Amino acid sequence: MAPPTIAAMPGELHEATRGGALVPIPLEEPVDDPRRSDVDEWGRSERMRALARLLYGPVYRNWFRAEWEGLEKIPKTGGALLVANHAAPLPSDAPVIMHGIEEEVGRPVYGMAEHLFRAIPVVGTLWSRVGGVPADPDNAYRLLREQQQLALVFPEGTKGTGKTYDQRYQLRRFGRGGFVEIAMRAGVPIIPIAVVGGEESMPALFNMPGVAKLLGLPYLPVTANHLVLGPLLGTLVYFPSKFKLRVLDPVRFDVEPDQERYSKSRVMEAAEDIRLQLQDTLHDMLRSRKSVWFG
């Protein structure tokens, strides 16, 4: 018996075509780029960003009453990696930092965060339109080295936002120092920013790891906001804690950019230095803070 043959039906296998190009198609000149929207390669739209600033302005000024120290240390040009402590289950610090720098220094800030946002309908799209970029070494390198932008990272990641209120202002481990390696490779300084006020804007009382796991979330706490405002409003509305931000001196690395790899001990050491500096600054700021609500 002959083996079964798999005969192709004519025309079945490849991309369908319409049979020959329409009209003389190959153009002599390159075609203009007919963009309609201002969404950049990162998904950020300056128009959406401006709208977000307009809406967020009152929160920044009247609710959190953010106050900066050392804003002049943020460079007017060139790439820099901004690094801050991270707090509140629904992080209140990222928008404050981004809004503040964009309003007062006049430069866009790309906020690098968990990929998880991208998977949520509407939220993921809005998040990237207002400047959120998935935290990925490749993305960071392109932003910092090739495009000389400001990028904001929280080295604590979800370890910072997932902690409960009784551990407030206790910096977690700074990952494996990946952010230092990125700054070294990109040849940009790291600018640490200490933030006070974030922890009190949404204090997490206890975590529910079982439920979080079930929902595929990194953490799921019950917050003081839930107790005061109810389960729905409490998830979204912050307490009006006073925000104070202090920009520390830029940390520059005396290494060649674009290296294949950097000494891990050097990277870890630099990461730990920055962590300790931020922790000291937080202690200092808390020492002089008289009120959670009025600063």
Residues that bind other proteins in the complex, under the rule CB under 8 A:
5-8, 10-23, 25-27, 30-37, 39, 41-43, 115-116, 118-125, 133-134, 136, 138-139, 142
Q: Nearer to other proteins by C-beta: 21 or 54?
A: 21
Q: For residues 288 and 278, what is the distance between their CA atoms, to the nearest angstrom?
A: 16
Q: Nearer to other proteins by C-beta: 19 or 106?
A: 19
Contact by Cβ (8 Å): 234, 223: yes
Q: Which of 55, 82, 86 is nearest to 71 (CA)?
A: 82
Q: For residues 233 and 223, what is the distance between their CA atoms, to the nearest angstrom?
A: 11
Whole-number minimum distance, CB 30 to other proteins, in Å? 5
Whole-number minimum distance, CB 52 to other proteins, in Å? 16
Whole-number minimum distance, CB 149 to other proteins, in Å? 13
Q: Nearer to other proteins by C-beta: 23 or 55?
A: 23
State which H helix or E strand residue 55 sits in: helix 46-58
DSSP states of 216-227 as a string?
A: T-S--EEEHHHH
* Pairing assessment for the beta strands 150-153 and 109-113 based on DSSP bridges: parallel
Q: Which of 216, 93, 97 is nearest to 161 (CA)?
A: 93
Q: Nearer to other proteins by C-beta: 96 or 183?
A: 183
**Bridge partners for 152 per DSSP:** 82, 111
Whole-number minimum distance, CB 163 to other proteins, in Å? 24
Whole-number minimum distance, CB 7 to other proteins, in Å? 7
Q: Nearer to other proteins by C-beta: 115 or 252?
A: 115
Whole-number minimum distance, CB 92 to other proteins, in Å? 24
Q: What is the dihedral of CA 275, 278, 279, 285, to 10 degrees?
A: 180
Measure CA of the first residue to CA of the last residue in the chain; give whole Å: 90
Q: Nearer to other proteins by C-beta: 72 or 146?
A: 146
